[in-house]
Amino acid sequence: MGMDRREFIRISGLAALLGLSGKGAFELVRPGQVEAAMAAKPEAQGVVRWAMVVNMQKMDEATAAKCIEACHRVHNVPDFTKPKDPKDAVPPEILNRYEVKWLWTEHYHNAFPGEEPPVMPEKIAHLPFLLLCNHCDNPPCVRVCPTKATFRREDGIVNMDMHRCIGCRFCMAGCPFGARSFNWRDPRPYITQDYPGYPTREIGVVEKCTFCAERLAQNMMPACVEASKGTLIFGDLNDEKSKVRDTLKRYFTIRRKVHLGTNPQVYYIV
């Protein structure tokens, strides 16, 4: 069966007419339904939004070290300066590149670049600011991930599915906080003591802090919060009675690189 030019034009003209009047027809039959389907879903009510407050007024080197140790122990984070076998020692010049960090410290001028006043209290300038993934509301790492290995959960945690990570490191380029580390080599020989029950990572995947999603699922506080003895405050930002909410109401807090628009959810009391 063929179709000549005249026929084709007539059919397409009719189709265009139908298409143009389609929405009008919908409005007649089901008024308001088309718009309703197109609008974004409203933010769900009663949803948990995890957030952390770091009280730098209480923070010192020892506490920071304790938090880092607790975090890295329960997540099998390798320490490349301490290989199990001396044969696996990493040359010092690449130690910095290999470093895997979930929780780490920086001084104020590195943690909050561009926000340091010319003159500031010396005590604060030398404080070890405890840094971690900010679990942003608008995470650039999630946007750039080509496999959706990094994703934002409903409760605000920016989590990683290691099964999907292909190690492209776009997220590392996307994250403005340096919260992501790449496994340049098999981490197993550098994990001083395997923490049973939590997986290690493999060569070629990116990893970061997960706000201890696996502990939260068992109603436990994150490992660093437990080790910090009150220096870190963790909880549900959407719960008006939560300790985080209360702390944020009572103290003025700052966040890292807010001007970038990622809306980080780790707050610092200075």
Partner 1 sequence: MADNYKNEFGVFAERPQVEKKYYDAKNIFTGLAVFLLLLILPLVPNLGKTVPPPQRSLETPVIQKLAEKDRKCIMPTDWMRANHMQMLVDWRDNVVRTGEKGAANGRNFVNPEGKKYLASLTNTCMDCHSNKDKFCDQCHNYVAVAPNCWGCHLTEGKTLAEAK
Considering beta carbons, is residue 106 or 155 the nearer one to partner 1? 155
Site for partner 1 contains 200 (CB under 8 A): yes
Stretch near partner 1 under the rule CB under 8 A, chosen from 20-28, 84-92, 190-198, 240-248: 190-198
Number of residues that bind partner 1 (CB under 8 A): 23
Considering beta carbons, is residue 105 or 238 the nearer one to partner 1? 238
Q: What string of DSSP letters covers 201-231?
A: --TT-EE---TTHHHHTTT---HHHHHHTTS
Structure-token match 């590149």, residue found: 97
Structure tokens at 27: 């409005």
Let me know: does 156 contact 125? Beta carbons within 8 Å: no
- Among residues 165, 201, 197, 163, the alpha carbon closest in space to that of 77 is found at 201
Site for partner 1 contains 92 (CB under 8 A): no
- By CB under 8 A, the residues from 211 to 230 that bind partner 1 are 213, 216-219
Site for partner 1 contains 184 (CB under 8 A): no
Considering beta carbons, is residue 201 or 256 the nearer one to partner 1? 201
Q: Which of 99, 106, 116, 202 binds partner 1 (CB under 8 A)?
A: 202
- Among residues 123, 211, 204, 208, the alpha carbon closest in space to that of 174 is found at 208
Considering beta carbons, is residue 153 or 255 the nearer one to partner 1? 153
- By CB under 8 A, the residues from 116 to 175 that bind partner 1 are 151, 153-155, 157, 159, 161-163
- By CB under 8 A, the residues from 50 to 69 that bind partner 1 are none
Element spanning 254, H or E? strand 253-254
Considering beta carbons, is residue 164 or 169 the nearer one to partner 1? 164
Instruction: List strand residue ranges (DSSP E) for the chain, in order.
Output: 50-55, 103-106, 129-132, 150-152, 158-160, 181-182, 206-207, 232-236, 253-254, 266-269
* Cα–Cα distance for residue pair 180/249, rounded to 1 Å: 30
Q: Which of 13, 22, 113, 199 binds partner 1 (CB under 8 A)?
A: 199
Longest CA–CA span in the chain (Å) reads: 87
Amino acid making up residue 41 = K
Q: Which residues bind partner 1 (CB under 8 A)?
A: 76, 151, 153-155, 157, 159, 161-163, 194, 196-202, 213, 216-219
